[in-house]
Amino acid sequence: MKAYRAALLWFAPHHEGPALARFEQDGLLVIGPDAAGRLVVLAIGDFRTMQGTYPDVPVEHLPGRIIAPGFVDMHVHFPQTNVIGSPAAGLLPWLENYTFPEEKRFEAPEYSAQAAHFFVAELLRNGVTTALAFATSHPESVNALFDEAQAQQMRLITGLCLMDRNAPDTVLNRCADEGCASRAEQSLVDSEALIQRWHGKGRLGYAITPRFAPSCTDVQLQGAGELAARYPDVWIQSHVAENKDEIAWARQLFPQSRSYLATYEDFGLLRERAIYAHCIHLDAADRSLMRETGAAAAVCPTSNLFLGSGFFDYLEADCAGFAYGLASDVGGGTSFSPFHTMLAAYYVGREGQAKAGLSLSPQHLWWQHTAGAARALGLDGVVGNLLPGCEADFVVLNPKATPLLERKTSLASSLNELLFSMIVLGDDRLVERAVISQAIS
């Protein structure tokens, strides 16, 4: 067992309110092994009240610091780190001119391995301790990312990118030998082999990953749905309704489906643990479908602003009652930093729902990137919070990390003012340390 004394930020159970934050100015966080041997939160609360309960537990005192849940990134592209900040007229030309040429390089195991090492280090440096990530269509990229996450004992979910059409041959799923019937068939064989190798190994999870419907034939999507039915505890991830040109293309390719989102439902790919990035241009029927199936949205504000895709509609999402959380969407997204993502979400809320006067609260923004994102992933009570029983992933924040941060946070007279100061002014310098539960000795 070990304890940490610092200011503590965490969230009430979700049934008590989606953004109800708890804060102790002088708190104690106690961690230790559970019955399964995982390091989890055993207790959290006021230091003076709790110190007598754990007299023999060593305490690391962190004066002036805030301990908060590790951030959860619901949608990030591992092979697009080098693509951040690439200029393009929109989503489809950005894919063609920058993304696909970079992703081709991940067929080389050595390139995938060094990229994975940098990617995981960058996530942790920015305080992201759980991520749902895209790899490429090359099994080498999936193995490299899982290998690195396992080495860091990080909770990470990824999977082979399924795409058997409408992209350069170098990034389509490949056939292993001359006996391969089709790219689709081989991609599903490879996906199942990767599920059996990695899913549930330590803190790793597998996600069946159609890139987006236009990149997949009916045969590949049908096979992905059948694979999902055989493995109901794996995740599903893809993109939907990000860009109007993309939507028109999807409707042309799948005219039998009621909508772009409904295409995934038609192939058995909407359910709990199914995460769809963007979800910007949905109608009322689509939002109801998200709620009814238990699928969740990964909101990607820096990417949507950068590519001019549109604004996620928070008011309609809440009215419909489907789950969502925040995501960096690197490399369409412009930063690994959760603080940049939360600030962009604030802009999206203000601009996208300007007529309604929406202003997302700092607590709600922070919840979207921690406990809310974990809930949307089906990991409520596992990560994204510091409630007893949660895995002990957390960040140590220094609100005096820069002169301006120190000046501004010292003036905060409420929790909302403190959190918003960090959201607006924070970056990787604010994260003094990211602690991974199973890495603690």
Each residue's pLDDT tens digit, 237-293: 999 999 999 999 999 999 999 999 999 999 999 999 999 999 999 999 999 999 999
SS3 call for 401: coil
Q: Which two tokens stand for residue 162?
A: 């399924």
Task: Judge whether residue 299 has pLDDT over 50.
Answer: yes
Residue with the larger pLDDT of the pair 230 and 350 = 230
CATH architecture type of domain 2-69+385-439: Roll (2.30)
Confidence of residue 81 (pLDDT cuts 50, 70, 90): very high
Cα–Cα distance measured from residue 101 to residue 111, given in angstroms and rounded to the nearest whole number: 14
What is the 8-class DSSP label of residue 361?
-
Confidence of residue 106 (pLDDT cuts 50, 70, 90): very high
Per DSSP, what are the bridge partners of residue 184?
Answer: none
Confidence of residue 438 (pLDDT cuts 50, 70, 90): low
Q: 0.85 cut: is pTM over it?
A: yes
Cα–Cα distance measured from residue 203 to residue 413, given in angstroms and rounded to the nearest whole number: 39
Asked whether the CA dihedral 327, 329, 333, 337 is positive or negative, the reply is: positive
Spans of all domains in the chain:
2-69+385-439, 71-352
- Among the residue ranges 17-21, 147-151, 184-188, 345-349, the one predicted with the least confidence is 17-21
Q: Does CATH place domain 71-352 in 3.20.20.140?
A: yes
Confidence of residue 175 (pLDDT cuts 50, 70, 90): confident
- Among the residue ranges 259-263, 326-330, 346-350, 424-428, the one predicted with the least confidence is 346-350
DSSP-assigned letters across all residues of 416-441: HHHHHHHHHH--GGGEEEEE-GGG--
Cα–Cα distance measured from residue 403 to residue 77, given in angstroms and rounded to the nearest whole number: 33
Task: Judge whether residue 93 has pLDDT over 90.
Answer: no
Question: Tell me, what's the pLDDT at 178?
Answer: 65
